[in-house]
Structure 1
Amino acid sequence: MPEGHTLHRLARTVQRRLRGQAVESSSPQGRFTAGAAAVDGRELTSAQAWGKHLFVTFDGVAERVHVHLGLYGSFRFSTFDDEPPDPVGQVRWRLVGDGVVGDLRGPTACELLDPHAVDELLDRLGPDPLRRGADPDAAWARISRSRSSIAGLLMDQSVVAGIGNVYRAELLFRHGVPPDLPGRDLPHDVWLRMWDDLVDLMRVGARRGRIETLRPQDDPGRRAGERRSYVYRRAGEPCRICGTPVAGRVLAGRNLFWCPTCQSEARVLG
């Protein structure tokens, strides 16, 4: 599933390509026909991301189009000269502007939401590290009271919006935090360092279009077959720092990776 940096990058792409234009909006697949018609011919005024959610706003329309890509969704843009190409595959939502076409395929959600429904959705989300003014202590309020593992809490979008499996595994490793540590046992100063690091990592991801978590001294470069992560998808391989085999298991239906030596309770609790 795309993580938060991907949605912020997508929002910027939508704005760069279509903001200020009266766009043609349609649903070639037919599953978003009424919603697409409601914004057809309207000026696209903004596209914003919050966590893994995209919201697109149109002039004169109180509702916003809400998109959640889920596991299989994609929103691809291309250019054309005279006429936009025919849709290929199951296109849920198509936007056509001046020489630009954007096709949304396979999202978990593509819907028109009124302002109240948007507010309700946002109220269910935790702070987004990529949004200006996001408060890490809003997440800490949940983390510090919970007996749940920090690994599980980081994947809870009501705690922090936008973290996925890769950032979860790599962030915990970078700060030596064992994934099973209960949230209430995590020191506040460690959480604040984790948050600042997460902000920096996700900004890099949004800017470059890929997740990069290795510190320069630990980066093996682009050697063939070398996964450029500390622990993510490296189960059984030696830890880049201590050589201990990276561990892996399933937690709440998602694969979890960590180093048993570098991420010990003794290390993080002192």
Structure 2
Amino acid sequence: MSITPFNVPIVPKLKRETILSLAKRGVRIDKRRLDQFRPISIQLGAAGKAHGSALVSIGNTKVLAGVKIEPGRPFPDTPEEGVLNVNAELVPLASPEFEPGPPDENAIELARVVDRALRESHAIDMSELVLIPGEKVWVVWVDIYVLDHDGNLFDASMLAAMAALMDAKIPNHQVLEDGSVEILGPGVEPLPIRKKVVSVTLGILGDTFIVDPSLEEEAVADGKIFFAFDDSGNIVGIQKSGPAWLDFKKVSVAMEIARNRYHNVLAALNKAFQS
């Protein structure tokens, strides 16, 4: 578990006191239960030119993820595996807190958290992405764009990335005698997904944990803790941000709350591919 910077906008003192007071009584400013997600929606194929894409909304937070698959060289230490790269961009129109320019530490952290959860879970069977062992493999790019920031970017980004990967199709291609790869057109073969990965983020308000914190709740929280789960319920990633101090007991409580709620996110993901 690593700790990262925690940058949020300032909330007026009166609203801060209201949010904290309500949380202590088991109530939230938007009338949700402490362990309740905002409405989740997933639109597949939102970026027509991508090999796979998904637009995810959790409440008013909106994140677009696109997947591009292209031939490239494997990493020297994994010559018989494909390559996965995850990038994130905090689009300036999504929040007054986001600025134009190269990815800042928050964008880098967001990409790293999603990337790590996908890798640690072995969500994709990378051995199935080899074209010529040691020389040519499929490189899978996942680009995450935050379009509207109203809190809980981790869960929205994780869900968008996973949905886009499940939506993706490997390009129709042929491997030529000289070792080059000719792309013939759009494909029909899906990526070899082994596991579905979703996450649950909790805001930390003193001794109280709240699921799927809104932006206002994040602004008054002492920190956040993120749990990523595979579809068998195994924890494949944990990340803490903010100054809140958590002992083993508190982490265990947070983990159980998250474990009881990851099914909600997984159900939304499965539903998107049933319609």
TM-score by length of 1: 0.25
Give 1 or 2: higher strand fraction: 2
Structure 1 or 2, whichever has the larger Rg, is 1
Structure number with greater CO (CA < 8 Å, separation at least 6) is 2
